[in-house]
Amino acid sequence: MKNLRKSLSLILLLAASVSVYAQKASPAATATGKIGDATVKISYSSPAVKERKIWGELVPYNKIWRAGANEATIFETDKALKIEGKELPAGKYSVYMLPTESQWTIIFNSQVGQWGITRAGETTNDPKKDVLKVMVKPMKSKAFNERMTYEVNKKGFSLNWENLTVPVKIK
């Protein structure tokens, strides 16, 4: 009986360890919504601030970023959209961003399904597969956002993290 209790305790401890290990530090998340007649879905991994300085440090300025954690962020639309006045055909795209202190470039790329960065720490963005680039202005957010989130609404979508909101207008 004593050996059985030890075995059960060991199994429970092992199961708990595996469960904790399997949880990602940046869990998968999805934002969906309607913009006009189009259904938009953004699939991403949601990192946390964890008392780090995000903009200009964890996410450097003037360097292309995978717009989330883990795999490259995916943007899907079932209808063509006008993003910041430019046409984006219906389809599935990786989203990358090039942040600066005053404006950001949002990049929609036709390559999907790749990990967001290489072993060397560079993004997996292949500029030859860029379909659309638009410029937007980041804004101070109304509230602090510990976790990075995307929000889809009738005016477009926004990335919200730490003390920043990056709105992208869509028609």
Locate the domains of the chain by residue range.
24-169
Predicted pLDDT at 32: 98
Tokens at residue 82, please?
Answer: 């006008």
CB-based contact 132:85 (threshold 8 Å)? no
pTM of the model: 0.84
List pLDDT tens digits, range 67-125.
999 999 999 999 999 999 999 999 999 999 999 999 999 999 999 988 777 777 787 88
Q: How far apart are CA 142 and CA 155, in angstroms?
A: 18
In this predicted model, which residue has the larger pLDDT, 8 or 157? Answer: 157
* Separation between Cα atoms, residue 164 and residue 160, nearest integer Å: 6
Residue 17 has pLDDT above 60, yes or no: no
The confidence score (pLDDT) of residue 125 equals 87
Give the model's pLDDT for residue 7. 52
Selection from 157, 58, 76 nearest residue 66 by Cα: 58
Please, what is the average pLDDT of the chain? 89
Q: Contact 53/141 with Cβ under 8 angstroms?
A: no
- C-alpha dist (Å) from residue 136 to 8, 23, 35: 57, 34, 18
Which residues 6+ apart lie within 8 Å of 65 measured at CB? 59, 96, 97, 98, 99, 123
Q: What is the predicted pLDDT for the residue at 34?
A: 97
14 DSSP 8-state letter: H
